[in-house]
Amino acid sequence: TSAEAIYELGTTCMQLGNLDKAIEGFKKALEINPSDSYAHYNLAQAYHRQRDFDSAAVHYGEAARLNPKDAYACYNLGLMREELNQLEKAIEAYRRAVELKPQDAQYHLNLAKALLTKGSSEEAIAELRQAIKLNPNDLDTNFLLADVQMKAGAVDDAISMYRKVVELNPESVIARCRLADAFLALDMPEYAFESYQDAVRLDPRYVNALHGLGIVYLKHRGKPSIGVDFFQQALDVDPSHTPSMVSLGEAYVGMGQPERALQFFERKLDENRENPDFLTKYALALAEAGHPEKANQEIRIALQLDPENIPLRETSAKLCAQQHKWEDALDQYLRLTRLAPERVDFHFGLGQAYEAVGREHDAKLAYNKVVELDPHNEPGYERLEALFGEKLPRPEPVRPAPVATPKPVAPPTPVAPPTPVAPPVSAKPPEPVAPPPPVAPPAPVSAADPVAPDTARMVFDQLEDEPVATP
């Protein structure tokens, strides 16, 4: 029997789903003609379907070696290498596939994903852009590029991509929420508020959007009680949602209820033992509740995890000063002025610590740095005057340039209103058009599955809804 006939038999068996017979046929064909690249490729396909990735990789590799221009073999070899956690070999195979078939957007996408796994985000972004150039409306790729740009700190670019995703899929709650997150990262809370609202209107029980609205009210609108309401709504949907639990703790600290805040922080303490940001907030709540020693203990643990965490050291310095542990406060302020030399308040705190331990000369130097950074810092001058025992000259205040008074403009001549037009007789409204079916969110975006719809407690009707212009 000829190798060609056996090969055809193997192909037929694979089409019928009889993979064992197909493998047997392709193997026999290769015994007769070991250089048949198509037999190797189809044998690899059969092993691939059986999830025998090792064997599939061997024969995809042989197919690519025997036919160096076979982009499909290279691409599938890359898939197998990824399944086998052979990342460098997967990237090599994907690169070869892209070289052979640069017009295939999927090849660029898979190469980008492998590069992201490796940590080569800059090169991955270039591949994602190429994939989008070839397939502009692919939701998966646009969403992934937005996420990568956001993580890389290119927030403006991420906003543009998230907006495009929203245009491609207006029903995407996740995209609207990610867009809002990006606006918050650029300190644009009103635009973030609008996007979070859009997300909640689409899904009133979407936890991340409810939490985001709470953050806007807590940290940007100065209304922690309304923030608490949104955090509680999020916890009603998902009682284990850590960000909402932590934000509730922050809100109660800000409202002067630290003991109540501790109830929420301590529910999440065990799972955040290695999270320095969480420990910073927890320590602040402990300090506000009158437990400074325990607060310092938590801060020491957190500083071992992240020695250059500025908010953490700042909290530690203030706690030490409140407890009159001036040597410890001095150590923290020295570190803070090295980490953030432009912060006037850190140099002022350093001066206070030096004064407290009797090092007046060093205190003078610290306060001198304060007025050097901020020539109009009155507390700095007052401390210098107290230490030197004499009045010090102040710099001339900066006077704003006079603004020219605009000339009055005559009001426009009133225009008569137009004559009303009668409505058309028996005009029928157009037939309603069914909305397009919602598109599933893209694969690379991980988010909790939405909970079954239910009526969430909303506060929108109680609040002023200020229109926000599109930036």
Residue-wise pLDDT tens digits, 159-191: 999 999 999 999 999 999 999 999 999 999 999
Instruction: Kindly state the DSSP code that residue 425 receives in the 8-state scheme.
Output: T
Structural domain contains residue 464: no
Long-range contacts, 60-63 (Cβ 8 Å, 24+)? 62/37, 63/37, 63/38
Q: Is the pLDDT of residue 451 over 50?
A: no
Residue of 319, 240, 254 whose CA lies nearest to 283 = 319
Confidence of residue 416 (pLDDT cuts 50, 70, 90): very low
Mark whether 89 and 36 lie in a shared domain. Answer: yes
Residues 39 and 93: their CA atoms lie apart, in Å, by: 20
What proportion of the chain, given as a percentage, has pLDDT over 70? 83
Residues 78 and 20: their CA atoms lie apart, in Å, by: 24
Q: Is the pLDDT of residue 25 over 60?
A: yes
Query: How wide is the angle at C-alpha 240 spanned by C-alphas 236 and 245, nearest 5°?
Result: 80
Mark whether 91 and 39 lie in a shared domain. Answer: yes
Q: Is the pLDDT of residue 398 over 90?
A: no
Structural domain contains residue 217: no
Q: Is the pLDDT of residue 12 over 90?
A: no
Long-range contacts, 155-164 (Cβ 8 Å, 24+)? 155/182, 155/185, 155/186, 156/186, 158/182, 159/183, 159/186
Structural domain contains residue 295: no
The pLDDT assigned to 422 comes to: 37
Domain boundary among 70, 101, 132: 101
- Domain with 185 in it: 120-202
Residues 288 and 363: their CA atoms lie apart, in Å, by: 28
pTM over 0.85: no
Residues 460 and 356: their CA atoms lie apart, in Å, by: 51
pLDDT tens for each residue of 90-114: 999 999 999 999 999 999 999 999 9
Q: Is 33 exposed, middle or buried (0-12, 13-18, 19+ CB in 10 A)?
A: middle
Mark whether 3 and 50 lie in a shared domain. Answer: yes
Structural domain contains residue 11: yes
Average pLDDT over residues 366-395: 94
Residues 111 and 91: their CA atoms lie apart, in Å, by: 6
Confidence of residue 401 (pLDDT cuts 50, 70, 90): low
Residue of 360, 343, 379, 288 whose CA lies nearest to 332 = 343
Q: Of 436 and 130, which is predicted with more confidence?
A: 130
Structural domain contains residue 277: no
Mark whether 95 and 8 lie in a shared domain. Answer: yes
Structural domain contains residue 81: yes
Average pLDDT over residues 149-161: 95
Phi, psi of 158 (to 5 degrees): -65, -40
pLDDT tens for each residue of 237-248: 999 999 999 999
Mark whether 2 and 81 lie in a shared domain. Answer: yes
Mean pLDDT comparison of 7-11, 261-265, 458-462, highest-scoring range: 261-265
Residue-averaged pLDDT of the chain: 85
The pLDDT assigned to 312 comes to: 86
The pLDDT assigned to 170 comes to: 96
Residue of 240, 309, 321, 238 whose CA lies nearest to 275 = 309
Mark whether 26 and 88 lie in a shared domain. Answer: yes
Mark whether 13 and 83 lie in a shared domain. Answer: yes
pLDDT tens for each residue of 200-230: 999 999 999 999 999 999 999 999 999 999 9
The pLDDT assigned to 436 comes to: 38
The pLDDT assigned to 402 comes to: 58
Structural domain contains residue 244: no
Q: Is 260 exposed, middle or buried (0-12, 13-18, 19+ CB in 10 A)?
A: middle
Q: What would the two tokens of residue 91 be?
A: 């990237």
pLDDT tens for each residue of 47-93: 999 999 999 999 999 999 999 999 999 999 999 999 999 999 999 99
The pLDDT assigned to 294 comes to: 92
What is the amino acid identity at position 371?
V
Confidence of residue 14 (pLDDT cuts 50, 70, 90): confident
The pLDDT assigned to 399 comes to: 64
Structural domain contains residue 8: yes
Q: Is the pLDDT of residue 157 over 80?
A: yes
Residues 229 and 246: their CA atoms lie apart, in Å, by: 14
Counts for the chain of helices (H) and strands (E), in that order: 23, 0
Q: Which position has the token pair 């605009």?
A: 406
Other Cβ atoms within 10 Å of 390 Cβ, number: 8
Mark whether 124 and 94 lie in a shared domain. Answer: no
Mark whether 5 and 36 lie in a shared domain. Answer: yes
Split into its structural domains, the chain has a count of: 3
Q: What would the two tokens of residue 408 be?
A: 């009055």
Average pLDDT over residues 339-368: 97
Q: Which CATH number covers residue 372?
A: 1.25.40.10
Residues 311 and 336: their CA atoms lie apart, in Å, by: 9
